Structure 1
Amino acid sequence: MAEIAARTGMLSIEEGKAERLAESLGGYFRANSAYNLDMPLTLKGSELADIAYMGPAGHHIKPEELAQLAAADGPVATTAKFRISLFTVGASAS
């Protein structure tokens, strides 16, 4: 949701997060499969503020300021992007 991040100051997902997750689970689980799920959204100010407030950036700014930033310039078209990773029980073969 880069468009929301640009407006509200949300943090982005750090590089290599999926790899670090798989590595941290490697002693207990085996990576099975993964796929991406993208959902186009058009959000108005209050919805934008709610989404931004759910993440860590939302707790580094006052709710009133976040609501003001989110409402600026009207609704925003964005895409919610999810990475679905499936793991099975059992250590990886690495």
Structure 2
Amino acid sequence: MYLAKVTKRVVSVVKHEAYNGKKVYVVKPVLPDGRALETEHVALDYIGAGLGDIVVCGGAPGVAQSIFGLDLAPIRTLIIAIVDKIDYNENEL
């Protein structure tokens, strides 16, 4: 699992049926202090996130298949929580 910021919405007319009726976003991993990392990922929204939200992303193999009841689900990353607040002490990391 990792923290990320939702940066873009993915819109597609033609897509795998596993994505039908679901929102897909581009997320950019961030550190607890909010600094963004270089990489971006495509993530399927499971909880109602929106642009600009800090979220928790993750997903083990087969999780999306179980959650959505699909035989085949080419879904690697799920948005599984929206972060309200981050409390951390830099010296504890």
If the TM-score is normalised by the length of the shorter chain, which range does it land in? under 0.3
TM-score by length of 2: 0.27
Q: Which has the larger radius of gyration?
A: 1
Q: Which structure has the highest helix share of the two?
A: 1
| Greater relative contact order structure (CA < 8 Å, 6+ sep) | 1
